[in-house]
């Protein structure tokens, strides 16, 4: 199977899951459900990769781990790295994960500080 298609399907699955979870517990916004689910998945995937590394089995592609972190699973990645002590010595992986985390933090702060402006832009685009 083509990994790019699988990643796209995976993103749709997390989005659909977020809407389903939001319908059961609407107090939590859809975006938060999405971030929770992708972080749990990324955490589990890194734990599986650590297990496969110790057993000399087929590993998860690093591009997939970068993609999932960039798609919102950066907290799950960092948590799994700390708990399982996985990919801690890989300086390039650490650099990219730190950069992705900084991008997410800066983006989140920007969205929170400019939420009214963003809502106005979206409202103008939809009308």
- Domain ranges in the chain are 3-126
* pLDDT recorded at residue 2: 53
* pLDDT recorded at residue 1: 45
Contacts of 45 (CB under 8 A, 6+ apart): 60, 64, 65, 68
Q: Does residue 73 sit in helix, strand or coil?
A: helix
Instruction: Judge whether residue 4 has pLDDT over 70.
Output: no
Under 8 Å between Cβ of 46 and 84? yes
Structure-token match 């297990």, residue found: 51
Q: What does R_g of the chain's alpha carbons equal in angstroms?
A: 17
How do residues 24-73 score in pLDDT, each as one tens digit? Answer: 888 888 888 888 889 998 899 899 888 988 898 888 888 888 888 998 89
* pLDDT recorded at residue 112: 84
Which comes out higher in pLDDT, residue 1 or 52?
52
Under 8 Å between Cβ of 21 and 37? yes
Instruction: Judge whether residue 6 has pLDDT over 80.
Output: no
Averaged pLDDT score across all residues of the chain: 85
Mean pLDDT confidence for 92-115: 90
């Amino acid at each position: 199977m083509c990994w790019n298609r699988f990643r796209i399907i995976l993103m749709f699955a997390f989005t659909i899951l977020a809407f389903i979870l939001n319908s059961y517990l609407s107090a939590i916004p859809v975006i938060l459900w999405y971030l929770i689910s992708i972080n749990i998945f990324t955490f589990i995937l890194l734990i599986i990769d650590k297990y496969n590394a110790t057993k000399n089995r087929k590993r998860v592609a690093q591009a997939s781990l970068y993609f999932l972190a960039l798609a919102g699973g950066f907290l799950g990645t960092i948590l799994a790295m700390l708990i399982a002590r996985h990919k801690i010595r890989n300086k390039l992986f650490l650099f990219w994960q730190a950069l992705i985390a900084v991008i997410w933090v800066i983006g989140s702060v920007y969205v929170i500080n400019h939420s009214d402006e963003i809502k106005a832009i979206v409202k103008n685009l939809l009308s």
